[in-house]
Each structure stands twice: as structure tokens, then as C-alpha cells.
Structure 1
């Protein structure tokens, strides 16, 4: 999993089966000081995150587990909207 910031949305009228009703978001990985920390990804979202929000993203097989045994072509899934977090000042 990683911490990210939603920086945009993707609209696709034609999607693979199993992706119906899934919102697609552009998420930039960030570190705990909110600096860019990796390559931007497109993540599926079923919980209603929006542009500017910090989110928790799950990648790979764990992201697909959320679909109860159905095969879906998802590599990244928003699994939480971050309200707040706390880390020690010296921690990275």
C-alpha cells in the first residue's frame, strides 16, 4: 500500500467487463511530508475520493481481492480516504 494524493480523474466510456460503475482516479504517490514519492498511477475507486484528497492505495493482487472472486483488470484500488496522520518529526 502507499499514501497518495488524488490529482485528477479519468473517464472511459468503454471499459472491460467487471469495471462497470468504477470511478478511475489519477493518484500521485506522496511521502509523509506530502512530497511526490513515485510514479503517478490510475486507481479504481468505490469509496468516493475526490481531487485534492489524500488516499491509501492498494496495488496488485490485494486490490483485486475486493471483488469477491470475480476477475477484474485492476492493478490499483483506493482503499481509504485519509483524514489525518501523525509521524515523528525526525521520521522519514
Structure 2
């Protein structure tokens, strides 16, 4: 899993049937950028939690993705108890 920020939306007019109706977001995190299926209705600028790999298909094993936004974050902290600055 990784913490990131929604920095854009991704559109595709032609896609496989399993992806019809699915929203995709561009997520920027400390290691770069990833495109993830939006499972929670996140918006531009939202700090989010992204799951990677087979966990991204939890709840819909037919969805052919390996990254999914699974939470919009209210807050997070570091080991020292300091507020985490989202990218």
C-alpha cells in the first residue's frame, strides 16, 4: 500500500468490457506516479491510500487492475507523531 495524492484523471474511450464505468485516477506519491482504479470516489487533490497487486481486485476479482484507491485519508502520522505531509 502507499500514500499519495490525486493529481489527475485518466480517460479511455475504448477499453475492455470489464473496465466500462470504472474511473481511473493519476496518483502521485513519493516514488513516482501510478494510475489506479478509483473505488471510493476520490477527487483532485485528495490524499489517498492505494493498494497494489491482487489486493486491488478485492471485492471484484473480475476487474483487471493492479492498483486501486481504497480510502480517502483524513489524516496520517509518522513514527514520531508528526503530521504526514501528503505529496
TM-score interval (norm. to shorter): 0.7 to 0.9
Q: CA deviation at 1:66?
A: 2.4
Question: Is residue 67 of structure 2 the alignment partner of residue 80 of structure 1?
Answer: no
Gaps spanning 5+ residues in structure 1: where? Answer: 30-36
Is the 1:16–1:73 contact (alpha carbons within 8 Å) kept by the matching residues of 2? no
Which secondary structure state, in structure 1, belongs to the residue aligned with residue 40 of structure 2?
coil
TM-score, normalization by structure 1? 0.79
Deviation per residue, 1:43-89 (Å, 9 max, x gap): 0002110110000000011101220x32x320100000001123324
Greater than 3 Å deviation, 4+ residue runs: none
Gaps spanning 5+ residues in structure 2: where? Answer: 83-87
How many aligned residue pairs are there? Answer: 80
Q: Equivalences for 1:1-92 in 2 at 5 Å?
A: 1-29=1-29, 37-67=30-60, 69-70=61-62, 72-87=63-78, 88-89=81-82
TM-score, normalization by structure 2? 0.83
Output the CA distance in 2 between the equivalents of 1:78 and 1:66: 13
Is the 1:63–1:77 contact (alpha carbons within 8 Å) kept by the matching residues of 2? yes
